[in-house]
Chain A
Amino acid sequence: MAVLDHPAENVSPPVAQRAPSWATTLDHKQIGILYIITSLIFMAVGGLEALIIRAQLWVPDSHLVGPDMFNQLFTMHGTTMVFFVVMPMLFGFGNYLIPLMIGARDMAFPRLNAFSYWMFAFGGTLTYLSFLAGGAPNVGWFAYAPLTEYAFSRDHSTDYWILGLMVSGIGTTATAVNLVTTILVMRAPGMSLARVPLFVWMMMFDGVLLIFALPPFTAAAIMLLLDRGLGAHFFDTQAGGSALLWQHLFWFFGHPEVYIMALPAFGIISEVVPVFSRKVIFGYESVAAATVVIGVISMGVWAHHMFTVGMSDALDAIFSGASFLIAVPTGIKMFNWIATIYGGKIRMQSPMLFAVGFLAMFLIGGLTGIMLAAVPIDWQVSDSYFVVGHFHYVLFGGSLFAIMAAYYFWFPKMTGRLLSERLARWHFWLMLAGFNLTFFPMHIAGLLGMPRRIYTYSADRGWTIWNQLSTVGAMLLAVSFLFFFWNLFVSWRRGESSGDDPWDAWTLEWATTSPPAHYNFEEIPIVRSRRPLWDLKHPEDPDWEHE
């Protein structure tokens, strides 16, 4: 029986009434699952694109896909992964978990929530419709002007890119408003901001970052659209417009975006690590404070993506210094997670496996990031495969490993069933091996001078072996994801029943049934500490006596 919910017969949640239609649902849990499923579909597509990229680079002078198709592939791959996979997947978990974690019955604005989801689904679909309309976007996920100006991009592919991202961006802004409001006003009695789970903390700051970083991107996209459609001159260098302005505006959004994808991942890790180490998180306050510091600094470092465009030395130095600074709060978090694990009674179940994988991979990504923030190194390796290696360690090794931990951790909450540990282990080890085999050699290829976004190379460059390793790694990765999808599929239908609280966790989402009834909690819990469920389970030694 759930700790805080009445037994099913008392409340009799009418199942038939509960799930009338997914298309019109306003329930945060259903919307969360819609987000998760849709982003999984996009992940399969984006992964397929990556595989074709890697297949093309398998041998020198390959003619598998032409240069034009290659441009479309890497543009759509990057765009998809950032906007239609990682972000919506995080929103999916946020949507599902936040009301449960703070003891609320729904998000602050359920209708707006559904609106956001449909804007994302529509924006993503719109971007892909370009394939039917003569060609997908082929200008990179950063869509640098003036390459994206009408003069150089005469078909409609760039318009699809702009409109698709604008539509989903409006939905995302709405999500951000919803997240911040929900967390600020919907908390259960006693759940002060100093007591919310760290995942909630980080999702709130994610919302804040989005609120300030996304509208400038929308504005820039509108400017580009006006240039293309109405003959405006924002980025038209012939008329005095500036290509640099696009870069500044894009990266003013683009860099915080990295943290928008990373903060919720940090939040997931901050939930998983304590539960599987059987210890309270080490330094709750410093983890939360580091979130704020990261958020603030991340708004001020965008130009480290532009060291090679020839800004002044002074500007380079300022942005380089600010970028180094980010390592401090990030290091604090790393320290806290490791200190939480240290001396704990560690249970190496699948969520913890992926969490530890995250720690190691994200560390490597962070270190190469520090290297890139040093201007002379960046000048040397900018736009080479070194960069591709770096950001995949951050985005894939960081965000996606954490998201995988989230799947294994919260799947029982959503379905009432456990994912198979055996399949999870296959998934994990294949993914870890495949991941490193794919992305580590990219650093070397990059140092050997292999530029980013080239569709082929000649045999005398010495890049062949590194590309072949990468491609083999990508195949391994693909296989590992087959295990993941298969696991989701079979466990959802006939996985082992999990009970309400399979991990003996401490946060409120585990206090209700799995899956939760439509209204989450029959009785809204009163919260007295950061681990309300611990207090309920251990009345003889509750946390709040020590706080």
Chain B
Amino acid sequence: MSEAHLTSAAATGHGHHRGFPAADFNEEHRVQVGMACFICSEAAFFSTLIVAYITYLGKDTIGPTPAEVLRWPLVIAGTIALVSSSFTVHWANSALRQGDLSAFRRWLAATILLGIAFLAGTAAEWRDLIVEHGLTIGTNLFGTTYFTLVGFHALHVTVGVIVLTLMLALSAKRFVSQQHQVGFEVVSWYWHLVDSVWLVVFTVVYVIGR
């Protein structure tokens, strides 16, 4: 076979692939697609916990029941905080895209604070449930499913807060700039996922389940 028959990217001007060791096509989409897949798997994971919660709604043989112990005010405040944080993280992302780093840091800090506020609300609620009402994961089916579902959600919020805090710290050291916008964008997707999951959890646990 003669060299003339070789077709290659270089021959048609797609020369950017040259160089060692790797140069990828569509590199810009890699992180997004990866995160989208990961988010799907997370959604499947939470769906399972939610199915378990719904399966056991009202099947308890002993109390306390959700209606007896779940309190509205705290959880509504927490929900408002978490929902707002979806907006702030979105604005942080837009600011980063426009290269406005100080606005980026402001919105990012706001997101982190809202996330922490939500976690504080969860902590207060758990303290109330455990100390005041003696409800633990071993008390009854409600305790079992409640602490598992809400606990795994809180764990995800915690991970998100840690990642966002890291990004804030890095950007304070000038390590984050416009070129990291895609990286931040997928982190914001994760945050939106955690937020959406919460809306389902809220509906199932606090609205329907009560």
Contacts and interface: CB of A to CB of B under 8 A. Distances in A.
A109 B37 CA distance: 13
Chain A CB within 10 Å, residue with most, of B17, B29, B52: B52
B49 A219 contact: yes
Contact of A249 (B40, B48, B145): B48
B25 A181 contact: no
Contacts of B25: 104, 185-189, 524
Contacts of B45: 215-216, 218-219
Contacts of B5: 536, 539
A518 interface: yes
Contacts of B40: 211-212
B44 interface: yes
Contacts of A519: 20-22
A191 to B, nearest CB: 9
A177 B34 contact: yes
B33 interface: yes
Contacts of B30: 108-109, 181, 185-186
A234 interface: yes
Contacts of B137: 226, 230-232
Contacts of B23: 105
Interface stretch (A235-243, A431-439, A483-491): A235-243
B9 A239 contact: no
Contacts of B147: 232
A234 B29 contact: no
Interface residues of B, number: 48
A543 to B, nearest CB: 13
A454 interface: no
A494 to B, nearest CB: 29
A212 B44 contact: yes
B47 to A, nearest CB: 7
A377 interface: no
B1 A240 contact: no
A536 B23 CA distance: 23
Contact of A215 (B1, B44, B61, B138): B44
Given A108-B34, A524-B9, A226 B141 contact: no
Contact of B38 (A177, A523, A525, A528): A177
Interface string B1-39: 100011111111010010011111111011001100110
A104 B54 CA distance: 45
A226 B147 CA distance: 11
A176 interface: yes
B122 interface: no
A237 to B, nearest CB: 11
Contacts of B55: 242, 245
B42 interface: yes
B148 interface: yes
Given A108-B30, A186-B25, A215 B9 contact: no
Nearest to A231: B138
A4 B6 contact: yes
Contacts of B180: none
A186 B37 contact: no
Interface in B83-141: 137-138, 140-141
Given A215-B45, A231-B138, A245-B52, A226 B144 contact: yes
A525 B138 contact: no
Contacts of A185: 24-27, 29-30, 33
Contacts of A232: 137-138, 143-144, 147-148
Nearest to A105: B22
Interface of A: 3-4, 104-106, 108-109, 173, 176-178, 180-181, 184-189, 207, 211-216, 218-220, 222-223, 226, 230-234, 239-242, 245, 249, 518-519, 523-526, 528, 535-537, 539
Given A177-B41, A186-B30, A526-B12, 19 more contacts: A108-B30, A184-B29, A184-B33, A189-B14, A212-B40, A213-B44, A215-B45, A215-B48, A219-B45, A231-B137, A232-B143, A234-B52, A240-B59, A241-B144, A242-B56, A519-B22, A523-B17, A526-B8, A526-B9
Interface of B: 1, 5-12, 14, 17, 20-27, 29-30, 33-34, 37-38, 40-42, 44-45, 47-49, 52, 55-56, 59-61, 137-138, 140-141, 143-145, 147-148
